[in-house]
Amino acid sequence: MNELRTIRAKSGTNQEGTSAHNRRVLIEAIRLNGPLSRADLARATRLTKQTVSNLIESLEADGLVASEDVVRGARGQPSTPYRLVPEGAFALGVQIDRHLTRVVAVDLLGREVARAMANLPPGGPAEGSKLILRLIETVRQDLAGRIPESAHRLAGLGVAMPGPFGLEPSDDDTWMMAQWQDFPLVETLAAGTGLATSLQNDASACATAERMNGSADGLDHVVCIYFGYGIGAGLILGGELYTGSNRNAGEIGMVLFSRGGVQSPLEHRASLASLFQHLGLDSATTEAYAEVERLTLADDPRVLEWLAGAAADMRHAVHMVETIFDPETVILSGSAPEPLAKRLFAEMFPLIPSNADRQNRALPRLQLGMIGPWAVALGAAAEPIRRAFDPLFSAILKEAF
C-alpha cells in the first residue's frame, strides 16, 4: 500500500460563501509543497473533492495554476499535479531608507523580476515621493516589456520604511524619519500608481520575505530580528504577521539595555548606525557600507570591539523574544553587509539558556536568514502577494482533530 504524503496546508471550509478563503488555502498549499493533485489537496485541506475540483478549474481559468504531466502510480487512478504559475500575479515593493530608495517587482512566488534604485533628492518627502513614482513607473515598464500581461496582474504596492510610527518628532532624527512619517505617503503613492498600497516597517518587511521564500516558510510562530541601520523584530504569530495597534509591534530597538551602568536603546548599541558612529563613518554615503564590509573582512580591531558588545546585547534580545513569544525559531535577517551580519550571528553563540532551549527542538533556536541590501524591498513587494493570496483564517479556520 502506498504511503500518504505529508502535506503542509491550512484547513479549508465547506460552508457556503467561503470560496475566496478556499482559493487562498489551495494556493498556499501548492506554494508550500510544490505540485499537488486534486486528491492531495482534498486530503490536506479537508475540502470535498468536488469543491477542490471547482476551485482548481477557477484558479486555472484565472492563470494562477497550471496542470503538469499525468502521474501514473503503481496502484490507483492516474493523477494530475497542479503547480502555481509564477506569471499569474505580480507585486511591487518600495523601500524608503534615510538616503536612498529601492523599487522591486516580484512574481506570484515572490521572486524578483525587475528592480531600480536611486538616492533620495533634497527636499524631503515631497520631492522624494516624485522620484519614487518615477522609479515605480520605470520598473512597471521594464516588467511589461518582459511580460506584457503583467500590467493587468499587479496585486498591489507594498512600502517599507523604518519605524516606529506615530510618535512625536524627536530632536535626534538619526534613528527615525519623522518627515516621511508625517507625509501622506500611502495616499500619494496610491494616487500616483492606481494600486492598492500598504505600509509596514522594515522589520515586518523582512519577516514577510522570510515567510514567503526564506527560513520562516511554512512556520506559524517566528520572530525575525532585523539587523540594519536600526533594529526591530517582525512577528509571525499564529501564521499571520502581527503589527500591533499602531504598526509598532516588534520595535525591540527601542528597548532599554544596560551596559557598564549606562542605559540606552538597543539600536543605539547594536545597529549598523551605531557601528557607523563607532567608526566615525558618514552614513549618508553608500561608501560607508562598503567600508564596513572591508573593515569586517580585515578583522579591524574597532569592528571586533563593537561586535563583542553588540553580540552580548543581541543575545539578551533573543532571550527576551523567546521568553515573550515562544517562537519555533528566531531568524536574524536584514540589510547590513553580509560579512558583518555573519560575524554578528556567530558571535551571538552560545545563546543564553531560555524556555526555548529544549532537546526535542525541530529547528535551531537562532538561524541566519536573508541578508542584503534588497531584503527589505523584496519583503515590501511580498506583502501585496500575501495580502491577496494568503488564507484569511481568523474567523473560519477549522481546528484540526
Confidence (pLDDT) at 3: 54
What's this model's pTM, rounded to 2 decimal places?
Answer: 0.88
Which three cell numbers mark 10? 491550512
Task: State which amino acid sits at residue 120.
Answer: L
Residues in the chain, pLDDT under 70: 1-5, 9-17, 73-76, 169-176, 392-401
Nearest-angstrom CA–CA distance, 393 and 295: 48
Confidence (pLDDT) at 398: 43
**324 Cβ neighbours under 8 A, 6+ residues apart:** none
- What is the phi/psi pair of residue 170, to 5°? -105, 155
In a 13 Å sphere around the CA of 394, the CA atoms on its Cβ side amount to: 5
Is the preceding omega at residue 121 within 30 degrees of 0, hence cis? no
Which domains does the chain show, CATH number per domain? Answer: 19-84 (1.10.10.10), 89-206+380-388 (3.30.420.40), 214-372 (3.30.420.40)
For the segment 144-173, what is each residue's pLDDT rounded down to a tens digit?
999 998 989 999 999 999 988 877 765 455
Task: State which amino acid sits at residue 366.
Answer: L
Confidence (pLDDT) at 380: 97
Q: Which of 190, 80, 182, 93 is nearest to 140 (CA)?
A: 93
In the predicted model, what is the mean pLDDT of the chain?
A: 90
Measured between alpha carbons, how far is residue 176 from residues 6, 286, 337, 389 in Å? 46, 19, 21, 32
- The answer to whether the CB of 241 falls within 8 A of the CB of 221 is no
For the segment 241-261, what is each residue's pLDDT rounded down to a tens digit?
998 988 889 999 999 988 778
Maximum Cα–Cα distance for the chain, whole Å? 72
**23 Cβ neighbours under 8 A, 6+ residues apart:** 55, 58, 59
* Cα-Cα-Cα-Cα dihedral sign, residues 170, 173, 174, 178: positive
Nearest-angstrom CA–CA distance, 164 and 364: 29
Task: State which amino acid sits at residue 128.
Answer: G
Confidence (pLDDT) at 1: 39
| Beta-bridge partner residues of 334 | 371
